[in-house]
Amino acid sequence: MEVLKETHFTGLGGKKTGKVRDIYEQADRLILVTTDRHSSFDRIIAHIPWKGQVLNQISAWWFDATKDIVQNHVLAIPDPNVTVAKKVKTVPVEAVMRGYLTGVTDTAIWTRYSKGKRDFDDLTLPDRMKKNQKLPHPVFDPTTKEDTHDRTLTESEMIAEGLITKELFDAVRETATKLFLRGQEIAAKHGLILVDTKYEFGLDEHSNLMLIDEIHTPDSSRYWKLGSYEERTARGEEPQYFDKEFLRLWFKDNCDPYKDAVLPDAPEELVEELSRRYISIYEEITGSRFEKGEIPIPKRIERNLKPFTV
């Protein structure tokens, strides 16, 4: 099964390699090529067929479904794996939105609630709430955007550090909240709960706010099945969710993914199952059948990007 591991296109500008995307930079635009790389443990652990296409096309679908709320960076989608985007000045704040009391990382709202924190943005939570419980209303819970480890800071702390002005902070909060509410509304119509997500914003040449990066993908967002949520949580079970964790657990059981110089190859059946899950979430969110792009993928992309060479 073909996968897009990396790209080496010429004539598209200087290349930067991210965890999942290869980014070609031009004077006023970016060529964002979403590969099939799967990142975890701060490294690439596998390549998942069709993952790049799924992520790029889900983002394109959501960008279109929210363009009445805020302008976005999309200039063109010339290929299933590619977005041509307007280059803007990045806002150095990750706009995290949370709708449920969940998560296991240090910055997760459930982790901090379990340690005694009760105030989140404009919401003060009561004691004795349970994991995965719906919040009274969505919470804006931003973090910094840093190369090492993102930090959860209050509005006043972010302003004091010079990361953002109060005016821009308010605009980001208001826009992120509108995007999240729209996302939850649409997801519910497709039998899903949009649990939490993160947005990235930029400022155009007129200092207007613009949505960039990706939106509501299974890599940037948590989704649960709506139909089984009430029943499962009433029994004290975890919600039914789109799960990538099984591949992480296999690596933890079969090697030390943080320390081993070379990792074993992921079992083919696990790679195929994760590919199937990415395609399934695409079809559930968009309500459309997933159409696999023409292969070989690199030749197709190179052909489709010829109008964008410099």
Measured distance CA(278)–CA(283) in Å, rounded: 9
Residues 22 and 110 in one domain: no
pLDDT of 149 reads: 66
**Both 157 and 252 in a single domain?**
no
Find the helix or strand (DSSP H, E) in which 60 lies.
helix 51-65
CA distance 91 to 249: 34
Is the per-residue pLDDT at 249 higher than 90? no
Q: Is residue 200 part of a domain?
A: yes
**pLDDT higher than threshold 90 for residue 288:** yes
41 — pLDDT class (breaks 50, 70, 90): confident
Residue of 69 and 242 predicted with greater confidence: 69
pLDDT above 80 (res 38): yes
DSSP 248: H
Examine the pLDDT at 118 and tell me if it is beyond 70: yes
Beta-carbon count within 10 A of 294 CB: 13
Terminal alpha carbon distance of the chain: 32
Average pLDDT on 40-68 reads: 96
Residues 117 and 58 in one domain: no
> Do 34 and 81 form a contact (C-beta atoms < 8 A)?
yes
Indicate if the pLDDT at residue 146 is higher than 80. no
Banded model confidence at residue 147, pLDDT cuts 50, 70, 90 = low
241 part of a folded domain: no
DSSP string, 222-236: EEEEHHHHHHHHHTT
Q: State residue 186's pLDDT score.
A: 97
Cβ within 8 Å of residue 113, ≥6 positions away: 101, 125, 129
> Which tokens in the block code for residue 273?
């199952």
The least confident of 69-73, 89-93, 101-105, 216-220 is 101-105
**Contact status, residue 307 vs residue 78, Cβ threshold 8 Å:** yes
5-36 tens-digit pLDDT: 999 999 999 999 999 999 999 999 999 999 99
Q: Which residue range is the domain that position 296 belongs to? A: 14-87+247-308
Q: Are residues 264 and 299 in the same domain?
A: yes
Residue 201 tokens read as 């914003």
Q: Looking at residue 150, what is its pLDDT?
A: 74
Closest listed residue to residue 7, CA positions, set 310, 305, 212, 308: 305
CATH code of 64's domain: 3.30.200.20
Q: Is the pTM of this model over 0.75?
A: yes
More confident of the two residues 108 and 14: 14
> Using CA atoms, how far apart are residues 244 and 38, in angstroms rounded to an integer?
10
Among 234, 256, 276, the domain boundary falls at 234
The mean pLDDT value of the chain amounts to 94
pLDDT of 115 > 80? The answer is yes
Residue 110 lies in a domain: yes
State the Cα–Cα distance between residues 185 and 253, nearest whole angstrom: 38
Which CATH number is 113's domain given? 3.30.470.20
Statement to judge: residues 129 and 229 lie in one domain: yes
Structure tokens at 140: 């804006």
More confident residue, 148 or 291: 291
Is residue 3 one of the residues assigned to a domain?
no
DSSP string across 162-193: TS--HHHHHHHHHHHHHHHHHHHHHHHHTTEE
pLDDT value, residue 246: 87
